[in-house]
Structure 1
Amino acid sequence: MNAKKELARNATENGKFDPREVKTEQKTEAEAQAKAEPQAQPQKEPVEVEPVKTVDAVFTAEQRRRSLKQLNQLDAKLTWLQNKQDELNTFEISNEGTKESIVLSNASGFRFEVTNTQIIHEVLELLRNQVETKISETQKDIATFNF
């Protein structure tokens, strides 16, 4: 503080007063005080690094090839399901309400036919829901597929 008073007294005696000189003096004192008190720096936690593992290139290529096959199978399944959904939509659109029937048959040649409109409607609803569920599951499997 004495330095400031002396600086101000000298400035007024000389007829020249420059406030920048006072600020400079204050800045210098503040800098000296900051240097005297070291700032506490946050402690850094050590980072653990895993050692690099070497991978056999042949295994990686073979694994990728198998993964690609699996992804292609999922793609084929999705395409098949989407085609079945289109067929079901076409069947529902062409449904007249008078001459529809659903026929079930097995490998032994047994056949079961339904012509009741209400039953056909319920079966179509069940089929539509199942196909949509399978499409969603397959799309999720493709989206989350890991090579």
Structure 2
Amino acid sequence: MADREDRAYKTTDLSTLLAYKGTPEDRDLLLKLYEQTCTTWRMLVDVRFKLFALVPTISLVSLATVFSGGDSTKYFSPGLRLLFAILGLAATVGLLVYELRNSQLHDDLISRGRKIEDELGVDTGVFRGRKVAKGLIKHDNATVLIYGAALVAWVASIWTSACGL
């Protein structure tokens, strides 16, 4: 039973159905809700991973294009570079806010999924009994690293643009 200590089994006190009677209809409704919870959870995870791939890639390619000093950069005045950097920073902050909200919804879906699994009598399922993240290997750490690197790059580009470097 030591393995259970590394897993999350606690569920919310909020019931899924207002008046759960254990009827076949209630069970069918719980299964439909569970299916929708899983589908929505997968969608949020999919969006998260796409953003994790796109934010640093698009930021770095954009910054390299505008600030590289090559032939393509002769078309960008210092003022236009500064504007581009400010807009890049704003877009990255906006995506970070979106990601943080996505994380809240993701965590709430896991909580809902755990509760439904509990009400269906599942001991260890997709949500209930998930391994608990420990140490460096956590989603929040990845978010900080990925968005932090992009934000630092945009702030540095604003600084270099404003200083005329």
The bucket for the TM-score relative to the shorter chain is 0.3 to 0.5
TM-score by length of 1: 0.46
Name whichever structure is richer in helix by fraction.
Answer: 2
Larger Rg computed on CA atoms: 1
Structure of higher RCO (CA pairs closer than 8 Å, 6+ residues apart)? 2
